[in-house]
Amino acid sequence: MLTINEHYLKLQASYLFSNIAKRVATFQEQNPERDIIKLGIGDVTRALPQACIEAFHSAIDEMANDSSFRGYGPEQGYDFLRTAIAANDFQTRGADISADEIFVSDGAKCDTGNIQELFSLDSKIAIPDPVYPVYLDSNVMAGRTGDFQDGRYQGVVYLDSTKENNYVPVLPSEKVDLIYLCFPNNPTGSTITKAQLKTWVDFAKESKALILFDAAYEAFIQDDSLPHSIYEIDGAREVAIEFRSFSKNAGFTGTRCAYTVVPKECMAYDSKGKEHSVHPLWNRRHCTKFNGVSYPVQKAAEAVYSESGKAQTDELVSYYLENATIVREAINDLGFDSVGGENSPYIWIQGNRDSWDFFDMLLNQAGVVCTPGAGFGKCGQGYIRISAFNSRDNVVEAMGKIKDALK
Ligand code: PLP
C-alpha cells in the first residue's frame, strides 16, 4: 500500500487568492455595471525590455541552424550569464562574489522552496511573519514543523514584523539554524539597513546558523545607503545564501530566470559536528534535479546587463515606483499609516480593522481589489497590501475611486 507524506496534510489550504477570486466574482455578479481594478497581485504588467527581446530573437535564430544550435547547457547556467551577474550585481558593489558561486535557475520560487532540503529535518527554522508563503510551506512539506495551531505551525520560530519594530524583525531569543529574511520585503515593502543586517550576520556566525536572504526586489532600492546584497556586509560570505530573480526588474515572471548565490565559505555541519561547505551540496542537488534554463532565456537575461538593457530595466522599475508613490500619497492623504512603496513595489497599509473587512470595503465602495494582510501570516491581520504592478491609468483611477469612496 502506497502511503503519503503526511506532512502535506498539515499544510493550510491556500485560501488567500481563491477567497479573493470568490469575493470578486460575487461582487461582479451583484454589480455587473461596476468596473473592478485589481491591485492585489504581484505580477508585472509591462512588456520585456527591448534589449531582452532582441537577444531572445537572435538566440532563437541560433537555435534554427545546426551549426549554432545548442542542446543541454551547463546546469548551473552559461558562463556568459554567470560572469555578467557576478560583475554587475556584486563586484561593482564591492561584494566579493565569483561567477562559479552563481547558480542560474528558472525561478527564485523554486530555489527558496528547494534550498531547505540540504539541511537536516531537526534544523530549527526562523521565518518572518508576515511572509512570502514558500519559505514556510516548503519546510512544512519536508516535516520540519509540527501541526498548525492558532494560526501558526508548532516548532517554527516566527520573526514578527510589526509597526513596533518598523517591520524589521529583531533577533530571536532562542537558538535557530536556518533564518529566512527578505528585503525589500514582500508583503510589507520594508527595507533593512546595513547596520541591522550586520546584526543578523553576526548572530548567524555566533550560532553557526545560515541566513537565506531573498533579494528578489533588490532593483527597487532607491536609497543609496541600503544594501542591495547581503554580501555588502562583512562576514556574510560565511553565513548567507542569496536569492535573486529577473522577474520583477526585467519582467521575467512568465519568461522564468533567476539565480542563487552560494559562496564557497558557507558552512553547515554533520551530526558529528564536522564542517561541510554548502556550495558542493547545492551544486549536486542542482545538477541532479535541474537541467538548466533554456539558452534563449539566458541570452535574454544577459541583455539586462547591456547598456540599453540597464536603461530599459531602470525605466521599468521607475514606472512601477511612480505608481507606488501615487498609491502611497493617496493612502497617506486618507490618514492611513503605511510602509513600503519607496524602495519597493508594495505598500503595506494599516487599516485599523480586520484585513478582510478592509478588503471588502475597498471592493464594495471603490471597486478596487487589494490583498488582505492576514493571508501572509498572523502579524498581517489588520493590514492590506497594495501592489504597484499595474498600468499608470489603472493606478490613478483606483486611487481616485478609493479617495472618493473613503473621504
Ligand atoms: N521571492 C519573493 C519574495 C517573491 O515575492 C517572489 C514572487 O512574487 C519570488 C521570490 C518568486 O520569484 P520568481 O518569479 O523568480 O520565481
DSSP string covering 312-342, please? HHHHHHHHHHHHHHHHHHHHHHTT-EEEESS
Distance 216 CA to ligand 1 centre (A): 6
Q: Is the CB of 230 under 6 A from ligand 1?
A: no
Rg (the chain; Cα; Å)? 22
- Enumerate the CATH 3.40.640.10 domain ranges in the chain, comma separated: 53-306
| pLDDT(253) > 80 | yes
Nearest residue to 387 via CA among 257, 253, 243, 196: 253
C-beta separation of 177 from 124 below 8 A: yes
Q: How confident is the model at residue 18 (pLDDT cuts 50, 70, 90)?
A: confident
Q: Which tens digit of pLDDT belongs to each residue from 260-299?
A: 999 999 999 999 999 999 999 999 999 999 999 999 999 9
| pLDDT(15) > 80 | no
70 φ/ψ angles, rounded to the nearest 5 degrees: -130, 135
Q: Which tens digit of pLDDT belongs to each residue from 79-103?
A: 999 999 999 999 999 999 999 999 9
Distance 306 CA to ligand 1 centre (A): 23
Q: Is the CB of 118 under 6 A from ligand 1?
A: no
pTM: 0.97
d(CA 100, CA 108) in angstroms, rounded, equals 18
- Enumerate the CATH 3.90.1150.10 domain ranges in the chain, comma separated: 11-47+308-406
Lowest mean per-residue pLDDT among 15-24, 60-69, 165-174, 335-344: 15-24
Identify the pLDDT of residue 44. 96
The residue whose CB lies within 8 Å of the most ligand 1 atoms, and thus the one to mutate among 111, 248, 371, is 248
| pLDDT(13) > 80 | no
How many helices (H) and strands (E) would you count in the chain?
A: 13, 17
63 φ/ψ angles, rounded to the nearest 5 degrees: -70, -15
Which CATH code fits 11-47+308-406? Answer: 3.90.1150.10
Q: Which tens digit of pLDDT belongs to each residue from 170-216?
A: 999 999 999 999 999 999 999 999 999 999 999 999 999 999 999 99
Atom of ligand 1 nearest to the CA of 185: 3
Residue 88 has a CB neighbour count (10 Å cut-off) of 14
CATH architecture of the domain with residue range 53-306: 3-Layer(aba) Sandwich (3.40)
Identify the pLDDT of residue 41. 83
| pLDDT(406) > 90 | no
Q: Which tens digit of pLDDT belongs to each residue from 125-146?
A: 999 999 999 999 999 999 999 9
C-beta separation of 295 from 55 below 8 A: no
Q: What is the mean pLDDT of the chain?
A: 96
CA distances from 304 to 48, 81, 211 (A): 10, 10, 27
